[in-house]
Amino acid sequence: MPSLVDLQARTGTDDVDYEVTLVDRRTDKELQHLEERVSNISLECQATGMSQIISRLVVKIAVIVVAHMGGPVNDVDEMSRRWTTRSYELRNTLKTIPLGSIDCGLSRHRALLFKVLNVFASLSGISF
């Protein structure tokens, strides 16, 4: 795997045989927005009592991820086609693929966003 410096030197049109999804809380406004939503949900869950906090929060984060990443996947081939188109657009316009900008993600993107939001929630005071 190339270093971050090498990855940043590449353009969106370079021919590469791997995919890199950027997770940068400082510059990814969409990711910041999602984390803000998780923070608000975390506060709501904490108000309901400790025993149900984690399960409610995990379910709500999963709902956010599914909604943000294009909804439930009914047709894997169609989602793959949508992802191919969208990733091309992101690379050409932003020269990168920020995690928060992925609005039709495949399972790996959904899993990454779920993990990032769960880590954010745990840093906010909820441990999983």
Q: What's the pLDDT tens digit per position in 55-94?
A: 778 899 999 999 999 999 999 999 999 999 999 998 889 8
Note if the pTM is more than 0.85: no
Burial 43-62 (b: 16+ CB within 10 A, else e): eebeeeeeeebbebbbebbe
- The residue ranking higher by pLDDT, 109 or 8, is 109
Q: What is the CA radius of gyration of the chain?
A: 16
Question: What pLDDT does 42 receive?
Answer: 81
